[in-house]
Homo-oligomer: A and B are copies of this chain.
Amino acid sequence: MSASEDTPTSPGPLVIGAQGSFAAGGTVVITPGVFDPVNPTDPAGQTLHGDHVRVSYQIPADALALPLVLWHGYGVDGTCWDTTPDGREGFRDIFLRRRRAVYILDQPRRGAAAKTTVAAEVTTATMEQMWYTQFRFGVWPGFFPGGQFPADPAAVEQFFRSMVPDTGPIDTEVIVSGVSAAFDRIGPSVMVMHSHAGGFAWLTAIRNRNVKAVIGLEPGSGFVFPEGEVPPPTDSGTGPLAGVPIPVDDFEQLTCIPIVLYYGDNIPTERHEVAGLDNWRVRWQMAGAFVDTINLHGGDAKLVSLPEIGITGNSHFAFADLNNRQIADQLSQFLTEKRLDEGTVSNKPDPRGSDE
């Protein structure tokens, strides 16, 4: 195992050149008529702005040229990149210390981007033990021996309280167009995406050339393939998983940028009775087919099993696990190998501004 690039114990202050947040993309609903300020609860002539992305950013004073754009997965918002459940620095701070501007997304209809033009029922189902298990902290109420998720009831509670419901339906076009609008504003950058962002992320990278590389942390759904090259669907304890056919010209956009996918530990290789674990068996398999197909088309994609390179015990939330600095080192090595850490910036983007 490599030593971490920075010291976890007393990291010293962060020197931030600029920070802030803005909304990008989204839609507008208009009720016909004329607004009457004497009867303001009449919707006539009134609007609803929704379906945007919320972007929160920090730019170190000595930032490298290419920012990281961090995109959460299912059931959480941008907060997931922040403090870890046991109170350590998450990827936000770790990469700020490595001179990266960090842009954190809340995808449409989640968290600070919860304002939606189509409502969903807010879930109040009791299902945290399902997520605990599917996120491979362990099989509830246990932890995996040698697991990297902090085995502390207070950390588990903080994790559960970091989750947020969707306020509207998951809509691929709403999400992809919103995030693409964010990349228009952010400019050339590296996408770091987790889990359920997977399929939306590939479609965004195809649509927006500001995405200069994609780092996938256990992408779990929406693997795209050229039409005619989609692998057969597979079945798992959480249901079937099918690849998504797209035109080959679109797919080949993904061959123009470096891509790396990381998967953690305790992913079964044979059918497993625990549904939440078996879920990852087929996703890992399809990630392999996805990477192979990109490379067959002349691309530069890599699939990394963390335990196979000696990094053991990682959950689905490797970026918040006890060894998250070691995981960050892997990303840093990738960024260096692909020459994505060259150049510097000193300017602050206009939070409302037009495209660069």
Contacts and interface: CB of A to CB of B under 8 A. Distances in A.
B26 A19 contact: no
A65 interface: no
Given A26-B161, A128-B46, A158-B22, A37 B87 contact: no
Given A79-B21, A79-B54, A111-B112, A275 B37 contact: yes
A48 B125 contact: yes
Query: What is the size category of the interface that chain A forms with chain B?
Result: 35 or more
A322 to B, nearest CB: 14
B122 A120 contact: yes
A149 B37 CA distance: 18
B46 A351 contact: no
A29 B129 CA distance: 12
A273 B127 CA distance: 50
Contacts of A49: 128, 157, 160-161, 163
Contact of A38 (B78, B79, B273): B273
Nearest to A83: B20
A324 interface: no
A265 interface: no
9 contacts: A13-B61, A30-B126, A39-B275, A40-B275, A48-B127, A77-B112, A83-B351, A115-B165, A122-B167
